[in-house]
Every structure is written in structure tokens, then in C-alpha cells.
């Protein structure tokens, strides 16, 4: 990385990677605005670079989560049916939208994510009692030396949220965890840590489904995508470790405000 | 967690780790040496890492004789294959429009 701009881009990937994984929303929500508004990179190339870095960070954090026994593989597989179809559809749709339409779609999504982050600043943990049979999709979780059992409820809702998350991922280069994790946790009875870990595992496949399309269209600018991914990779692992320790409530409220601000700024690119 | 599930988790971990490390090394070398082919392969390996993970999961579940979930996993592979197919067919018009301008 001799080119100074490669270092700057890697730094952009690193900063958005830490913040994204601290907040549990992935780096894409901040990375794409930073690349387009600050570095002046065309939005399609920014989305493609973000998707590449999302694959890197999701794959790396999945290894940590598998090691901790947090991933529910079977549930992940069922939901991946929806996220991968969504990712493919989002990728195809993005190839047909103009940059203006993409900016507008991104601004709207950021505004909704900002509101979701603010609403979930005090997150809930849903854990059922030990006598419950977890069923085929549910599971057991060891936390703090205690064993918990959870059952998966409202699977169609989880599938719908996964489809939407996949489509947004393919369309805008975000991971989609911000949509899946709250739905899985709040409405489907899945413990927050399992929801986050299972979502991260799915994100790699979801992003790959659309990344092929961006790559074939020539939207993946190699040095840009590689610099950003190399910066984001160690940063997301650091963020995942910090998220267990840092009190993130006020950070989330601050970030919600920032997300809404960036949404307005991105919408400003259109009008 | 059953013994099979534990083993499958370890194999998935190994596949993801190998994919991310190989791709990271290729991308780093590509940037340092200013070598586009290395960068390209780094990104291709990275994009194929989740696909390799799904292949391993499909095989692992088939070995466990968990046919229902093996089929679900196979379906996801099918979606990824369709994405590659769509990508391959998107490429052509772009190359046709770019090539004359370069000439």
C-alpha cells in the first residue's frame, strides 16, 4: 500500500468497520456515504467496495462467533434462502437504477436505520425457560455458565425480514443486520447474541449473491475495494470484542442523529 | 451440541479462515506490489469464500443424513449459481459498449 490514498481508504474502512460492529449494523451504512460524499467516489463503485468489505468482515466475525458457539446454523440456512434471493434481486435492481435513484434509496434507508438505532438504544433480551423443547430450529445457549433454551417463533416474519434485508444489501451494499437482528430478537424469540451471530454468518452469502453482479458489471474498482476491505477486516474484529464491554447506549443515540444527518446530506445530492 | 455439529462448525470455521486469510494476503500483496492480477484474485477468492462455506455445509449435512437441511443448503447454492449466471450474462453488453471507445 504505497499509494497514500490506499492508506486513507483503508482508514475509512477501519473507522466505519469499528463503529459499524460496535453498533451491530455493519460498516456499510457509514462506509458508502463516506466514500461518496468525502472521497467523491461514484455511488455504484462505493456500494461495490462496501459489499466486498462486508463479505470480508462478516466471514471474519463468523469464525469468532462459531468458536463461541453462538451461530444457529440450521436457522441461518433457512433464512439464507430468503436473504440470498433478496441479495440477487437487489443486485439486479441496482444495475438498473440511476446514481440519483441509488442516492435517494440510500438516504431513505439510512433515515429508517437511524430511527431503528434510536428506538433500540436499550435492547431487549428474550430468553425462554430451560424446560422448553427448542424444536428443530431453536437451540441452546451457554451464557455466564448458565444454559438457556430458545424456540424460534413467527418464522414467516423472520423470512420476510431476511428477504428485505437481502434486497437492501444487494441494492445498497449494507449488511442488512440492522433489519434482521431486531426482528429475530424482538419478535422471533431468538437471544440477541445468537441473532447477531447467525445474521453475520448469513451476510457473507447474501453479499456474495449480489457482489458477483457488481463485479461482472465492472463496478468493483480493485484497489478501492481491496484497500477498504483490508482496513475493515481487523477493525470489525476489534469492534466485535469491544461491543461486549463498551456501554453503547449513548453512542447509539449519537449515531442515530449522525445517520439522520447523513441521510439528509445524501438526499441533498439528488435535489 | 452433537459431535457432528461441533465438527461441522470447526470445518466451516477453517474454510472461512482460510478464505479470508488467502484473500487478505493476495490483496495486500496486490496493493504493495501494484499488481492488478493479485488484487483481482484476492477479491475473487473473497467472493467465493461464502460459496465454499455453503458447499461444505451441504456436504456436512448430507453426511449427517439430515436431508431436509441438506436440500435447503443445496437451494442456496442454486441461488448463488443463478447469481453467477446472471452476472455472466450482464457482462456482455458492457464489454460491447466499452470496447469500441477504447479502440
Of A69, A91, A217, the CB nearest to B1: A69
pLDDT score at A3:
62
pLDDT band at B97; cut points 50, 70, 90: very low
- Integer Cα distance of A171 and A149 in angstroms: 36
Residue A144's pLDDT is 66
Place A239 in a pLDDT band, splitting at 50, 70 and 90: confident
- A62 has a chain B CB within 8 A of its CB: yes
Task: State residue A24's pLDDT score.
Answer: 62
Q: What is the ipTM of this complex?
A: 0.86
**Mean pLDDT of the region B2-19:** 87
3-state percent helix, strand, coil for chain A, nearest multiple of 5: 70, 5, 25
pLDDT for res A229: 93
Residues in chain B closer than 8 A to A209 (CB atoms)? 79-80, 83
To the nearest whole Å, the CA of A261 is away from the closest chain B CA by 32
- Interface mutation vs chain B, best among A197, A199, A208, A218, most B CBs within 10 Å: A208
Residue A210 has pLDDT above 90, yes or no: yes
Partner B contacted by A208 (CB < 8 A) = yes
Q: Assess contact for A69 and B8: CB atoms under 8 A.
A: no
Alpha-carbon Rg of chain A, whole angstroms? Answer: 18
pLDDT in tens, B15-41: 999 999 999 999 999 999 989 999 999
Mean pLDDT over each residue of chain A, to the nearest integer: 83
Average pLDDT over residues A118-146: 66
For range A107-119, the mean pLDDT: 82
In chain B, residues 66-95 whose CB comes closer than 8 Å to chain A: 69, 72-73, 75-76, 79-80, 82-84, 86-88, 90-91, 94
**Rounded CA separation A229/A126 (Å):** 34
In chain A, where the domains are located: 4-268
- Give B12→chain A minimum CA distance, Å: 8
User: What would the DSSP string read from start to end of A71-120?
Assistant: --HHHHHHHHHHHHHHHHHHHHHHHHS-HHHHHHHHHHHHHHHHHHHHHT
Q: List the Cα angle A88/A70/A237 in 5-degree steps.
A: 75
Weakest-pLDDT range from A9-18, A229-238, B85-94: B85-94
A178 touches chain B (CB under 8 A): no
User: Which carries the bigger pLDDT value, residue B81 or residue A146?
Assistant: B81
Domains of chain B, by residue range, sit at 3-102
Quick one: DSSP state of residue A38?
I
Is B50 close to A55, i.e. CB distance below 8 A? Answer: yes
Amino acid at each position: 500500500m504505497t499509494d497514500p490514498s490506499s492508506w486513507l481508504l483503508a482508514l475509512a474502512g477501519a473507522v466505519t468497520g469499528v463503529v459499524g460492529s460496535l453498533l451491530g449494523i455493519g460498516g456499510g451504512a457509514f462506509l458508502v456515504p463516506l466514500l461518496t460524499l468525502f472521497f467523491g467516489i461514484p455511488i455504484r463503485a462505493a456500494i461495490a467496495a462496501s459489499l466486498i468489505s462486508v463479505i470480508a468482515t462478516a466471514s471474519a466475525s463468523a469464525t469468532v462467533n462459531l468458536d463461541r458457539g453462538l451461530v444457529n446454523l440450521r436457522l441461518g440456512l433457512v433464512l439464507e434462502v430468503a436473504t440470498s434471493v433478496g441479495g440477487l434481486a437487489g443486485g439486479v435492481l441496482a444495475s438498473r437504477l440511476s446514481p440519483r435513484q441509488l442516492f435517494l434509496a440510500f438516504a431513505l434507508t439510512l433515515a429508517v436505520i437511524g430511527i431503528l438505532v434510536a428506538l433500540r438504544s436499550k435492547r431487549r433480551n428474550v430468553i425462554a425457560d430451560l424446560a422448553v423443547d427448542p424444536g428443530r430450529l431453536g437451540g441452546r445457549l451457554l451464557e455466564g455458565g448458565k444454559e438457556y433454551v430458545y424456540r424460534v417463533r413467527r418464522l414467516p416474519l423472520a423470512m420476510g425480514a431476511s428477504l428485505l434485508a437481502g434486497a437492501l444489501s444487494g441494492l445498497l451494499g449494507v449488511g442488512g443486520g440492522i433489519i434482521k437482528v431486531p426482528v429475530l430478537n424482538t419478535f422471533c424469540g431468538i437471544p440477541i447474541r445468537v441473532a447477531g451471530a447467525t445474521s453475520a454468518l448469513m451476510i457473507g452469502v447474501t453479499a456474495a449473491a449480489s457482489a458477483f453482479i457488481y463485479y461482472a458489471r465492472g463496478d468493483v474498482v480493485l484497489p478501492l475495494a481491496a484497500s477498504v476491505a483490508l482496513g475493515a477486516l481487523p477493525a470489525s474484529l476489534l469492534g466485535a470484542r469491544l461491543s461486549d464491554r463498551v456501554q453503547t447506549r449513548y453512542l447509539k443515540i449519537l449515531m442515530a442523529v449522525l445517520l439522520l444527518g447523513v441521510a439528509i446530506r445524501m438526499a441533498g445530492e439528488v435535489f | 451440541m452433537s459431535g457432528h455439529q461441533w465438527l461441522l462448525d470447526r470445518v466451516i470455521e477453517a474454510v472461512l479462515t482460510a478464505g479470508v486469510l488467502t484473500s487478505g494476503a493476495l490483496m495486500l500483496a496486490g496493493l504493495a506490489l501494484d499488481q492488478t492480477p493479485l488484487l483481482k484474485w484476492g477479491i475473487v477468492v473473497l467472493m467465493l469464500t461464502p460459496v465454499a462455506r455453503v458447499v461444505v455445509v451441504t456436504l456436512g449435512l448430507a453426511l449427517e443424513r439430515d436431508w431436509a437441511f441438506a436440500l435447503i443448503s443445496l437451494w442456496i447454492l442454486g441461488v448463488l449459481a443463478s447469481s453467477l449466471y446472471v452476472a455472466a450474462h450482464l457482462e456482455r453488453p458492457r464489454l460491447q459498449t466499452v470496447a469500441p471507445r477504447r479502440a
